[in-house]
Each structure stands twice: as structure tokens, then as C-alpha cells.
């Protein structure tokens, strides 16, 4: 297989297929490109309760524009959105109907550099009672997760309380900081981390780098984790930036490859996902193969979401939205992944389910890896099937 980059020895080119590439233009949304992913084809017609082999995407509207380095996105009760600026270290509220922006405030202690900064956001399941918002961010010394109280009654720009750190000491790097956080169906907090370019950390179960973490809302290990005194849930990851649960409450994660294969993985506790020993499907004992994989030029995946029976995956370098219809077996997709929006909006960073057949998608053209167009960056509302 031809490598995605000319040299695997340079940190930013070989260790970071995640954010390489630049914006491209032009596409026919009604005719997605021929699939070149390695997912196996469907072997038979799906039962009626499974998604169709072929899907569709319609752009309903552009909710808002002119966002600076947006990264994390979370929905508030009622339908408004919170969006984090990676480099600006700010959180803003976006009206879910009008797109009007309100600055909540800055998160103190954030030290943006390279792929680090203010990254993932999550709204507490108990938000109605405590108004807590969780954030994953890079400091001068580490990556950490903190919770902040959001007081809507205070003036704009001063609505965030002081960060209450619940987990510190996640290794940081110029690249591969992970950063996605989400509350699962079990109401526990999950986080995807990166190995910071130090590949050995992914296999070191004593390190928080190159892992998926599972913790209580207070940052403590959860009963049922692979090791009782550890928040580590799975390991052997290069750089996890997408987390989502399907209709059966199964956890999925998107992960950047190096030169060959990006991955979509079905996550099970205590399992080893291979990095740096394997990349993509190898069939080697002791390692979990991905359910689907892509050439790094076609994906460099970031956020994922589940809707209408499929996982929807944002592509940075690939500049497209991938649809992966699930078969129910978790061993392979129902049909080959299908690409949409190729090159139309540039790099895509975050996908969030908006209920039913709707998705929110955040572009990522102001993060230093693309040439922004007027209006970048923006949040799109999609109707999907």
C-alpha cells in the first residue's frame, strides 16, 4: 500500500495524519465518490430493522459561521449548543434556532500549542440540577479534565465558574493529545487520549496516554473497569478523537492511523487495539482488528456520532463525512462505508447527533491546517438516512 506521506520519520508528517492536508473544492452531493475504504461488502440484504446499504445526506442549514478553531461541541437541554475554541480557550453558546453566539467565558490554564488547547466538551447528565459542563484541555504540564459551573444569570463572558479538575496527568504533546469526552449510557464519563508521539505509551497500561478512559463524574475509576484502581478502559490506541454509542449501547471509537490505515473500532473493556504493534487489520492474536479502515488520505477521522442505524465519521484530511451502516454483528459494516460532502466544506472536525435523522457537523478550517474561506468555521445541520 502506498504510504500517505513521503516520510514516516518526521513527527508532524508521519505521526500526525490527523491534521495534514488542505481544503479542496467541488463535489456533487447526490453522487458520492467511489468507495475506496477496505470495509468488506455486504453479504446479503439486511433485515428490515437495519439501515439501508446506501444512505443520503442533505444540508438543511448553516446554523452559524465565523467560529475560530472550533473543536468540542455539546448540546444543552432545550437544543442550544456549546462550542469550544481550541486556540482561543473560550466556550460559547450557540442558539439552536437562530445561530446567535453568546460568549460564556474563557477557561483558565489552557495552553494552546500544536494540536493541544481547549478540546472536548460534555454536558453533565445532571445538568438540570447542577449546570456542570466538562472540558478536556491542555495545560503547560499535561492534559486534564475539569468541570465548570455555567451560570446563565451572569453577564456574557463571565458565566463560567473556576475549573474543578477531576483528572490530571494525562500526557501532553505537540501532537496526539486526543481530547474527545462524552458521557455514556451508563452516565459515566469517557475520554479518548493520544500517545503524544511517544508510541510506547499506548501499550503501557500504567500511562493514561493512548487509551480510552472511563471514570465517574468525579474522575474516579468505575466499578467494572478492567482494573479496579484505574480509569483505563482500553489501550493500544494512537490518537482517539471520536466516541459514540450505538442503539445497543455499544461503544465505538475513531482513531488516526500513521501512514496506512485510519480505523473505526468497536471498544470492549480491557482489549488491546494494537498501536504501535499493528495498524489496521492484521489478524494477529492479542489485538483487536478495526471494524472498518481507510487510507489516511481519505479520512484522518475526528468526531463520530450514531444516527439512523449508522456511525457518521468526520474526516479532517479526507474533507468528507463517512457513513458506516452497522450490521448488528459488530464484526463488519452492513455495507461499504459511503462518503458525503467531499471537499465541499473543507476539513470536518466534530459530529453530534441532533435527534432522529439530524446531525450537527463542525468544520475545522481555521486551525492552521487549511486556507479558510469566507464564513469559516461553521456549524451545519444535516438530515441523514
- In order along its 385 residues, the chain shows pLDDT tens digits of 333 333 333 333 333 444 443 333 333 333 333 344 444 444 444 455 899 999 999 999 999 999 999 999 999 999 999 999 999 999 999 999 999 999 999 999 999 999 999 999 999 999 999 999 999 999 999 999 999 999 999 999 999 999 999 999 999 999 999 999 999 999 999 999 999 999 999 999 999 999 999 999 999 999 999 999 999 999 999 999 999 999 999 999 999 999 899 999 999 999 999 999 999 999 999 999 999 999 999 999 999 999 999 999 999 999 999 999 999 777 899 999 999 999 999 999 999 999 999 999 999 999 999 999 999 999 999 999 9
The answer for residues whose C-beta is within 8 angstroms of residue 43's C-beta and 6 or more apart is: none
* pTM assigned to the model: 0.89
Report pLDDT for 213: 99
CA 187 – CA 334 distance, rounded (Å): 29
14 phi/psi in degrees, rounded to 5: -90, -30
First-to-last alpha carbon distance for the chain, in angstroms, is 32
Contact 226, 232 (CB under 8 A): yes
Cis before residue 2, ω within 30 degrees of 0?
no
Q: What is the predicted pLDDT for the residue at 328? A: 79
Instruction: Outline where DSSP puts E strands in 216-356.
Output: 232-235, 240-245, 251-255, 261-267, 292-295, 301-307, 310-315, 321-325, 338-340, 348-353
pLDDT confidence of residue 331 = 80
Check residue 32 and give its pLDDT. Answer: 37
Answer yes or no: are the C-beta atoms of 175 and 196 closer than 8 Å. yes
| b/e burial code for range 33-67 (CB count within 10 A of at least 16 → b) | eebebbbeebeeebeeebbeeebbbeeeeebbeeb
User: Please, is 13 exposed, middle or buried when counting C-beta atoms within 10 Å of its C-beta (0-12, 13-18, 19+)?
Assistant: middle
Q: Are 196 and 177 in contact (CB under 8 A)?
A: yes
What Rg value do the Cα atoms of the chain yield, rounded?
A: 19
Dist CA 282 CA 295 (whole Å):
15
The whole-number pLDDT of residue 48 equals 54
Distance between CA 341 and CA 32 in Å, rounded? Answer: 8
Q: What is the dihedral of CA 68, 71, 72, 78, to 10 degrees?
A: 50
User: Could you tell me how far CA 194 lies from the centroid of its own chain?
Assistant: 12
Backbone dihedral region for residue 226 (phi beyond 0: left; psi -120 to 50: alpha; all else: beta): alpha
Rounded Cα–Cα distance for residues 20 and 8 (Å): 13
Q: What pLDDT is recorded for position 47?
A: 52
Amino acid at each position: 500500500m502506498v504510504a500517505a506521506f513521503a516520510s514516516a520519520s518526521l513527527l508532524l508528517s508521519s505521526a500526525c495524519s490527523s491534521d495534514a492536508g488542505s481544503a479542496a473544492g467541488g463535489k456533487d452531493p447526490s453522487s458520492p465518490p467511489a468507495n475506496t475504504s477496505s470495509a468488506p461488502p455486504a453479504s446479503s440484504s439486511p433485515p428490515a430493522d437495519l439501515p439501508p446499504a446506501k444512505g443520503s445526506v442533505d444540508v438543511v442549514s448553516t446554523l452559524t459561521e465565523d467560529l475560530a478553531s472550533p473543536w468540542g461541541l455539546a448540546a444543552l437541554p432545550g437544543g442550544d449548543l456549546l462550542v469550544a475554541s481550541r486556540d482561543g480557550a473560550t466556550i460559547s453558546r450557540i442558539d439552536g434556532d437562530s445561530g446567535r453566539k453568546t460568549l460564556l467565558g474563557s477557561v483558565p490554564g489552557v495552553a494552546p500549542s500544536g494540536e493541544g488547547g481547549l478540546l472536548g466538551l460534555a454536558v453533565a447528565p445532571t445538568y438540570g440540577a447542577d449546570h456542570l459542563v466538562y472540558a478536556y484541555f491542555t495545560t503547560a504540564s499535561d492534559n486534564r479534565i475539569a468541570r465548570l459551573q455555567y451560570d446563565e444569570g451572569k453577564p456574557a463572558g463571565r458565566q463560567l465558574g473556576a475549573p474543578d479538575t477531576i483528572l490530571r496527568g494525562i500526557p501532553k504533546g505537540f501532537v496526539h493529545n486526543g481530547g474527545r469526552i462524552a458521557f455514556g449510557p451508563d452516565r459515566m464519563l469517557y475520554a479518548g487520549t493520544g500517545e503524544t508521539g511517544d508510541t510506547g505509551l499506548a501499550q503501557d497500561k500504567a500511562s493514561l496516554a493512548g487509551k480510552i478512559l472511563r471514570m465517574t463524574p468525579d474522575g474516579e475509576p468505575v466499578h467494572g473497569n478492567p482494573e479496579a484502581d484505574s480509569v483505563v478502559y482500553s489501550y493500544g490506541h494512537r490518537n482517539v478523537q471520536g466516541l459514540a454509542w450505538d442503539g445497543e449501547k455499544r461503544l465505538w471509537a475513531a482513531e488516526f492511523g500513521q501512514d496506512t490505515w485510519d480505523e473505526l473500532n468497536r471498544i470492549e473493556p480491557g482489549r488491546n487495539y494494537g498501536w504501535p504493534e499493528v495498524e489496521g487489520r492484521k489478524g494477529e492474536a492479542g489485538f483487536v482488528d478495526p471494524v472498518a479502515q481507510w487510507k489516511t488520505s481519505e479520512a484522518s477521522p475526528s468526531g463520530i456520532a450514531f444516527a439512523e442505524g449508522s456511525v457518521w465519521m468526520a474526516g479532517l484530511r479526507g474533507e468528507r463525512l463517512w457513513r458506516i451502516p452497522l450490521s448488528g454483528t459488530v464484526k463488519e459494516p452492513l455495507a461499504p462505508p459511503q462518503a458525503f460532502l467531499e471537499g465541499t466544506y473543507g476539513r470536518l472536525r466534530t459530529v453530534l447527533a441532533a435527534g432522529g435523522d439530524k446531525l450537527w457537523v463542525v468544520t475545522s478550517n481555521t486551525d492552521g491546517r487549511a486556507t479558510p474561506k469566507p464564513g469559516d468555521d461553521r456549524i451545519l445541520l444535516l438530515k441523514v438516512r
